[in-house]
Amino acid sequence: MEAPELQRHYLPDFELQSGIVLPELVIAYRCYGCLNQDASNVVVFPTYYTGTDSSNARLIGTGRALDPDNYFIIVPNLCGNGVSSSPSNTAAPFDGPRFPLVTVYDNVRAQKKLLEHLGIEYVALVLGWSMGGMQSYQWCAQYPDCVSNALVICATARTSAHNKVFLDGVSAALLADQHFNGGDYLSSPVAGLKAFARVYVGWAYSQAFFRNGRFRELGFSTVDDLIGDWEDDHLSWDANNLLAMLATWRAGDISQQWPFENCLGDALAAIKARVHLMPCEEDLYFRYEDTLQELEFLSKGKDCRYRSEFGHCSAGPGRVAEVTVLVEEQVRLLLSGV
Q: Which range binds its own copies by CB under 8 A, 23-31, 120-128, 253-261, 282-290?
A: 282-290
Q: How far apart are CA 302 and CA 295, in angstroms?
A: 7
* Residue 305 makes contact with its own copies by CB under 8 A: no
Q: Which of 9, 234, 276, 312 is catalytic?
A: 312
User: Least distance (Å) from its own copies to the CB of residue 265?
Assistant: 15
**Which letter does DSSP use for residue 280 in this model?**
B
Pick the closer one to its own copies by CB: 227 or 273: 227
CB 256 within 8 A of CB 17: yes
* Residue 179 makes contact with its own copies by CB under 8 A: yes
Binding to its own copies by CB under 8 A, coded x per residue (else -) over 224-243, reads: ---x----------------
| 18 belongs to the catalytic site | no
User: Least distance (Å) from its own copies to the CB of residue 212?
Assistant: 9
DSSP 251-275: T-BTTSSTTTTT-HHHHHHT--SEE
User: Least distance (Å) from its own copies to the CB of residue 65?
Assistant: 31
Q: Which range binds its own copies by CB under 8 A, 91-99, 102-110, 127-135, 155-163?
A: 155-163
Pick the closer one to its own copies by CB: 7 or 160: 160
| 130 belongs to the catalytic site | yes
> Could you tell me where the beta strands, DSSP code E, fall in the chain?
7-15, 21-32, 42-44, 72-76, 123-129, 147-153, 274-278, 301-303
Pick the closer one to its own copies by CB: 142 or 171: 171
DSSP 197-211: HHHHHHHHS-HHHHH
Pick the closer one to its own copies by CB: 8 or 307: 307
User: Least distance (Å) from its own copies to the CB of residue 199?
Assistant: 4
Question: b vs e for 32-50, b when ≥16 Cβ sit within 10 Å of the residue's Cβ?
Answer: bbebeeebebbbbbbbbbb
| 253 belongs to the catalytic site | no
Binding-site size for its own copies (CB under 8 A) equals 40
User: Least distance (Å) from its own copies to the CB of residue 169?
Assistant: 4
Pick the closer one to its own copies by CB: 198 or 305: 198
- The binder of its own copies chosen from 126, 195, 304, 323 (CB under 8 A): 195
User: Least distance (Å) from its own copies to the CB of residue 242?
Assistant: 14
Q: How far apart are CA 125 and CA 199, in angstroms?
A: 34
3-class DSSP state of 333: helix
User: Least distance (Å) from its own copies to the CB of residue 132?
Assistant: 21
Side-chain-side CA neighbours of residue 102 (13 Å): 34
* Residue 192 makes contact with its own copies by CB under 8 A: yes
**Cβ neighbour number for residue 214 with a 10 Å cutoff:** 18
Pick the closer one to its own copies by CB: 199 or 269: 199
Pick the closer one to its own copies by CB: 140 or 173: 173
Strand order of the β-sheet with 7-15 is 7-15, 21-32, 72-76, 42-44, 123-129, 147-153, 274-278, 301-303
CB 42 within 8 A of CB 71: yes
Q: How far apart are CA 71 and CA 216, in angstroms?
A: 35
Which residues have a catalytic role annotated? Answer: 130, 283, 312
In the complex, the residues that contact its own copies under the rule CB under 8 A are 160-162, 164-166, 168-170, 172-179, 191-192, 194-195, 198-203, 207-211, 213, 223, 227, 284-285, 287, 289-290
